[in-house]
Amino acid sequence: MKLPRRLIGMQDRGPRTLLGLNRVSNQLELFLSAYSYMQIDVPVLEETELFLRKSGGELASKMYTFSDQGGYQVSLRPEFTASVVRAYLEGLNDGPLPIRWQYQGPVFRYDSEEIPTYRQFNQVGAELIGASGASADAEVLALAAQGLSALGVRRHSLVIGHLGFISALLESLGISDRARMLLLASIPDLRLEGSGYNAVQARAISLGLLPPAGGSEAFHAQLARDEAIAFVERFESSEALPPFGVRDIEEIRERYLRKQQFSEDAGRFGTALNVLSRVAQVRGDPKDAIFRVREIAGGKVGKDQLERLEETLLVLSSYDLGVPITLDFGLARGIAYYTGIVFEIQHLPTVDGNEVLNDFGLSLGGGGRYDGLVHALGGPEDTAAMGFAWTLEQTMLALSTDCSDALANSDELKLYIVRAINSKAQSAAVREAQRLRNQGIVVELELSQRSVNECLKYASARGAYRVLSVNSDGIVKEENITKPTTNSTTRRS
């Protein structure tokens, strides 16, 4: 019979790995609690519509979705924020704004890679609902960076983008909603020079937003709208009309003007594509990056968003983060509900032992501002909100390189093994084990009647801290695991 196999992208975790994950999770939760972020819990299974209504974007293609026995379309949660906002709207909060909540648990995202790393992974995160302004932005950014520092992560940086600025830029260029959605979804591609731009251009052509290279629309693009109308009207009044087949002059006029409108739309889209491509490649020191995007966008476009970003960075400086800050206007996060600042905590890659600040590192988590999500999910109005989540598995990986001692200490099992020296001493051994457990000590009761040396070998393999031998009178010997034939002390239970 074929043995069942673990699904690709899913992980089995042993006691030591789980102990390390729990320790990291608990420390992050304690850190958030110090900022008054209170723990909540939300279901792992939700109606699919909850995640599609506004999360959308790249995330929608990664959801585990199915119909339950009642015929409802449901999904395993791919992230927490939509569920947290739903809980807020259904009355989980009974106090004044702002709300500070934290959460932890597994999320599920299908990865189509041939060898996916994780399709189930764990997050610890926080949401700040009902607070706007630079101070609120700075608090959330500082939490995300300092929580990892407190844990022992060292080579991490805070990478900040701003989808509010990107949206204002595209709105100023007068493109359609359809074109704007395509460009927003294509920001990760546009971060890459050359091939990324070409891929987005090909996608736009396939969607009819750009004409094929060398298409007949080139002539129409040279004509202004008024000139196009006059051109058709001259034929309307002519007595020597050329043969137009079965179409009457009005059909020709409308068809011609549709082509002209397409040319105008395609021209605006082409301009937007070029401008956004340049903006998406701006990454570096905050002051320099803001100066560069101002030059690209012009003085007035996105002015409010960039001034708010500068104010946020000023407030953030008072937190004394101690980690590098990079602005990356090509950062999008792949979730459609973000409306302002977006950010990631990236673990810095190294070359020959030196940190590389302008390269893309391992993402340890991220988040952003989503002021429109409450209203999109049925709330009466837009509500200021911002949040983030750390990925525990990635954080553990960063810790293993930055602070291996922290993980080694977390994995050490302070395990005591209690053994009866013979069958008559079994009751005394049980009482001794229970006494130790009442003190908060982890205890295994030896059940296989091993000899002292056999039990010490077993204890060494288990990583146990002590082996205690108990006789029928309740007298306890502490056996030395490193020197199996030596007894350390003897006492009465």
Q: Of 117-131, 387-401, 475-489, give the lowest mean pLDDT range.
A: 475-489
Residue 141's CATH number? 3.30.930.10
Clarify whether residues 315 and 350 are in a common domain: yes
Q: What is the rounded CA–CA span in Å between residue 284 and residue 328? A: 7
Clarify whether residues 381 and 321 are in a common domain: yes
Quote the pLDDT of residue 489.
55
CA distances from 119 to 52, 219, 350, 374 (A): 19, 51, 27, 28
Element (H, E) at 261: helix 249-280
CA torsion through residues 373, 29, 367, 308, sign: positive
CA-closest candidate to residue 57, choices 187, 197, 226: 187
**Residue 486, Cβ neighbours under 10 Å: how many?**
8
Specify the number of domains making up the chain. 3
Q: What is the rounded CA–CA span in Å between residue 286 and residue 324? A: 10
Q: What is the rounded CA–CA span in Å between residue 133 and residue 455? A: 62
Q: Calculate mean pLDDT across residues 31-60.
A: 90
What token pair was written down for 405? 């001692």
Residue 1 maps to a domain: no
Contact assessment for residue 435 and residue 483, using Cβ atoms and an 8 Å cutoff: no
Of the three residues 354, 380, 407, the one that is the final residue of a domain is 407
Q: Calculate mean pLDDT across residues 464-477.
A: 94
Q: What is the DSSP letter of 321?
A: -
Residue 444 maps to a domain: yes
Burial grade of 461 (CB within 10 A; 0-12, 13-18, 19 or more): exposed
Clarify whether residues 63 and 139 are in a common domain: yes
Of the three residues 387, 407, 427, the one that is the final residue of a domain is 407
Contact assessment for residue 462 and residue 487, using Cβ atoms and an 8 Å cutoff: no
Residue 359 has pLDDT above 60, yes or no: no
Residue 434's CATH number? 3.40.50.800
Contact assessment for residue 100 and residue 121, using Cβ atoms and an 8 Å cutoff: no
Q: Calculate mean pLDDT across residues 301-308.
A: 93
CA distances from 466 to 33, 199, 421, 426, 436 (A): 35, 62, 16, 18, 12
What token pair was written down for 250? 């009005």
Clarify whether residues 453 and 474 are in a common domain: yes
Which residues form the domain of 370? 15-163+299-407
Q: What is the rounded CA–CA span in Å between residue 187 and residue 181? A: 10
Residue 172 maps to a domain: no
Clarify whether residues 36 and 144 are in a common domain: yes
Predicted TM-score (pTM) of this structure: 0.81
Clarify whether residues 201 and 250 are in a common domain: yes
Q: Of 163-167, 173-177, 188-192, 353-357, give the lowest mean pLDDT range.
A: 353-357
Residue 284 has pLDDT above 80, yes or no: yes
Residue 286 maps to a domain: no
pLDDT tens for each residue of 437-467: 999 899 999 998 899 999 999 999 888 899 9
Residue 236 has pLDDT above 80, yes or no: no
Peptide bond between residue 380 and the one before it cis (omega within 30 degrees of 0): no
Residue 10 maps to a domain: no
Residue 233 maps to a domain: yes
**Residue 382, Cβ neighbours under 10 Å: how many?**
14
- Round the average pLDDT of the chain to a whole number and report it: 84
Q: What confidence category does residue 145 fall into, taking pLDDT thresholds of 50, 70 and 90?
A: very high
pLDDT tens for each residue of 363-421: 999 999 999 999 999 999 999 999 999 999 999 999 988 765 555 554 455 899 999 99
Residue 213 maps to a domain: yes
Clarify whether residues 400 and 441 are in a common domain: no
Clarify whether residues 198 and 112 are in a common domain: no
Clarify whether residues 237 and 369 are in a common domain: no
Contact assessment for residue 16 and residue 132, using Cβ atoms and an 8 Å cutoff: no
Residue 278 has pLDDT above 90, yes or no: yes
Residue 178 maps to a domain: no
Planar angle of CA 142, 54, 186, nearest 5 degrees: 80
Q: What is the rounded CA–CA span in Å between residue 338 and residue 344? A: 13
Residue 325 has pLDDT above 50, yes or no: yes
The most confident of the ranges 197-211, 222-236, 374-388 is 374-388
Q: Calculate mean pLDDT across residues 345-356.
A: 68
CA-closest candidate to residue 46, choices 126, 110, 107: 107
Of the three residues 246, 279, 312, the one that is the final residue of a domain is 279
Clarify whether residues 257 and 328 are in a common domain: no
Q: Quick check: helix, strand or coil at residue 151? A: helix
Quote the pLDDT of residue 250.
59
Clarify whether residues 308 and 354 are in a common domain: yes
Clarify whether residues 244 and 348 are in a common domain: no
